[in-house]
Structure 1
Amino acid sequence: MDNDPKTYGEAISDIDSDKWLEAMKSKWTRWFKPSLDPRRPTQGARPVGCKWVYKRKLGADGEVTAFKARLVAKGYTQRPGSILRKPIRQ
C-alpha cells in the first residue's frame, strides 16, 4: 500500500511532517545556494510550474530507512512555441 503524501499539504499534515520538511529543506539548500543569481524569465515568458514528490524508502525488514523529497517540473504546463533555455539543474 502506497501511503506517501501526494501533495505538500498532505506532507505537512502527515505524522512524519518533521521528516518531510527536513527532506525538502535538505534538497532545497543543495540546489539553491545564496551565491547563485536567480534566473528571471524573459519578457512574456511563463515559468513552468513544479511540485514536490515524496517517497518513504524501506529497508529489507519493511521499516522506513529514509524520507525522500524531490522538486519536479510540470512539463505539461509548457506552452507550444515557447522559448526554452538551458535548465539550471539536470
Structure 2
Amino acid sequence: MIIIWWLQTQTGKSSLVGLTNAIFSITAALSIFYGPIIDKHSFKRTSQTSLLVQTILLFLLTAVMFWVSHDIVLTILISAVLSICDEFFSPRRSCDP
C-alpha cells in the first residue's frame, strides 16, 4: 500500500499506479509456480533466505525512494522482487493441514 501511495503522490499518474498494482497481482497469481521450487529445497532455508533478501531489498528500497535517486522504475522493480520474495516466505502450500 505504501508503494502505491508513494507512486501516486510522486507522479500523480493513476496509470502508473494501476500498472504497479497489476505487477503485484501477477506476482501473487504466479505463486502456484513457486511451489515446486520451494518443495525441492528445505522450507526453513528457503524461508530464511527469502527473509534475508527481503530485509536487504527493503533497506535498498528506502534508500532509492527517499535518499538516493527517487527513481520510479527502480522503485517498482525492487517492489516487484519484494513481492515475489514474500511468496517464498509464506507460500500457500496445498499439503499443509
TM-score band w.r.t. shorter chain: 0.3 to 0.5
- Give the number of the structure whose alpha-carbon radius of gyration is greater: 1
The structure with more helix, counted as a fraction of residues: 2
- TM-score, normalization by structure 1: 0.34
The structure with more strand, counted as a fraction of residues: 1
- TM-score, normalization by structure 2: 0.33
Structure ranking higher on relative contact order (CA contacts 8 Å, 6+ apart): 2
